[in-house]
Structure 1
Amino acid sequence: MNQSQIYKIIMISILSAISFILMLISVPLPFFPPFLKFDIADIPAYIGFILFGGGVGVLIIAIKIIIYGFLVSSEPIGPIANLLASLSYLIPIYIIYVKSKTSKSLITGIVVGTLFMTFVLSILNYFILLPLYGMILDQRAVFENVKTLVTVGIIPFNIVKGILLGVVIYIVHTKLIPILKKQKEKSTL
């Protein structure tokens, strides 16, 4: 195993651990249902996408969810929803940014990622995730209010989440990614 492969494995491990820790530091946003919490756990995965490619970014997300599922979660719906949110948000950003690698493409990716995540999670929450959540936790109110939860909770929450994450991603991309790219180049020497 060469030095760049060792560096990559170490970075995947560090980014996955940081992502898990950041997932634990989640906060409810005002005016949203309490089960919808905001965190910046997708930032390490974004770094993995940019430094090492899509496969590594997805791997970091998967490791974060597996660790969270085994150590923290008392039910499977939250981690599954988080996995789907992370993938539906970050993959469009990565695909759009990689084509031209400009600030404009990054911002376009963030907008598309926010809209795609909002769309995907609205559909999945309406038909699958919220009904399962209500069934697992035996909460009849969730069954009776799925449409309201999606329109008043899920849709606006994901738009706000996408925008807030987008601001952090933009800052990380302009300030931290250049430093990490130089560090990565040194590891291949």
Structure 2
Amino acid sequence: MNQKKRLSVKTVVLIGMFGALAAVLETFQIPVPFAPPFYKLDFAETPIMIGAFALGPVPAILMELVKNLLKILINGTTTMYVGDLGNFIGGCAFVLPASILYQKHRTRKMAMAGLGLSVLTGVLTAIVVNCFLTLPLYANLMFGGIENIISMGTAINPAITNLPTFAVFAIVPFNLLKLGMNAGITALVYKKVSVILHVGAPVREPRTSVEKG
């Protein structure tokens, strides 16, 4: 009982730590030349993905929640909370597939497959969330209509003429780049970080014929 309680406290501390680190990293944003200025790269999903591998899918959702709440508390919102909602949904869609797969099969091969699936799921979710939720709401609240968002895209890329082309030439490449970078960094650093995270954790029974990841 004491062991379970101690591990539970450790999990809560790690959720707070990873969520706070993600909120800090999200303040360092990099604009991209092929999308409107409200699309900016950041590395906030990297610590959450590391935490999702270490702790599991439910803590991963809580880390995303902590990240967004801290961001709002510290910096407020510039999108009338629409972007924050989209960030939470998209973040969960990104970290959950890899976390779920890795919890079932803790191998390097499964971790890499999970990261690839997470990038794909994150991009597809970004298309749906942006086209049907965040962009229409954000446009009506801040820009007077979706056509003004489209015109911002057209000014950058003449091929953008409507919402579907906005998705193809702005949403998809932006999220492929952002999520791919976060997944790549996670793949590079997770193994080293996991050694620290698992200090004091109960020893797992060895499994035969399984490559550990």
TM-score by length of 2: 0.78
Residue in structure 2 matched with residue 170 of structure 1 by the alignment? 187
What is the alpha-carbon distance in structure 2 between the residues aligned to residue 90 and residue 137 of structure 1?
29
User: Which string of whole-angstrom CA distances, capped at 9 and with x for unpartnered residues, describes residues 63-97 of structure 1?
Assistant: 11112223321321211121111111110111222
CA-CA distance at 1:139 after TM superposition:
4.2
- Alpha-carbon contact 2:68-2:84 (below 8 Å) kept: yes
- Alpha-carbon contact 2:30-2:40 (below 8 Å) kept: yes
Q: Which moved more, 1:139-148 or 1:77-86?
A: 139-148
Residue in structure 2 matched with residue 67 of structure 1 by the alignment? 70
The answer to whether the aligner puts 1:16 opposite 2:30 as a matched pair is no
**One-letter identity of the residue aligned with 1:152:** F
CA-CA distance at 1:19 after TM superposition:
1.3
- Alpha-carbon contact 1:134-1:142 (below 8 Å) kept: yes
Gaps of at least 5 residues in structure 2 are 152-161, 204-213
Q: How does 1:1-189 map to 2 (within 5 A)?
A: 2-72=5-75, 73-74=77-78, 75-140=80-145, 141-142=148-149, 145-182=162-199, 184=201
- Alpha-carbon contact 1:88-1:120 (below 8 Å) kept: yes
**In percent, how many aligned pairs have the same letter?**
24
CA-CA distance at 1:173 after TM superposition:
1.4
The structure richer in helix per residue is 1
- Alpha-carbon contact 1:28-1:36 (below 8 Å) kept: yes
What is the alpha-carbon distance in structure 2 between the residues aligned to residue 5 and residue 98 of structure 1?
17
Residue in structure 1 matched with residue 157 of structure 2 by the alignment? none
Q: Which moved more, 1:84-93 or 1:133-142?
A: 133-142
- Alpha-carbon contact 1:27-1:39 (below 8 Å) kept: yes
**One-letter identity of the residue aligned with 1:170:** A
- Alpha-carbon contact 1:20-1:64 (below 8 Å) kept: yes
Q: Which moved more, 1:114-123 or 1:132-141?
A: 132-141
**Root mean square deviation of aligned Cα:** 2.1
User: Secondary structure at the residue paired with 1:12?
Assistant: helix
- Alpha-carbon contact 2:98-2:117 (below 8 Å) kept: yes
What is the alpha-carbon distance in structure 2 between the residues aligned to residue 122 and residue 66 of structure 1?
23
Q: Larger radius of gyration, structure 1 or 2?
A: 2
Instruction: Indicate how the Cα distance of structure 1 residues 123 and 10 shifts in structure 2: closer, same or farther if over 3 A, else same.
Output: closer
Q: Which moved more, 1:26-35 or 1:88-97?
A: 26-35
- Alpha-carbon contact 1:50-1:94 (below 8 Å) kept: yes
User: Which string of whole-angstrom CA distances, capped at 9 and with x for unpartnered residues, describes residues 130-180 of structure 1?
Assistant: 111111112441266423321110011111122111111101212211222
User: Secondary structure at the residue paired with 1:176?
Assistant: helix
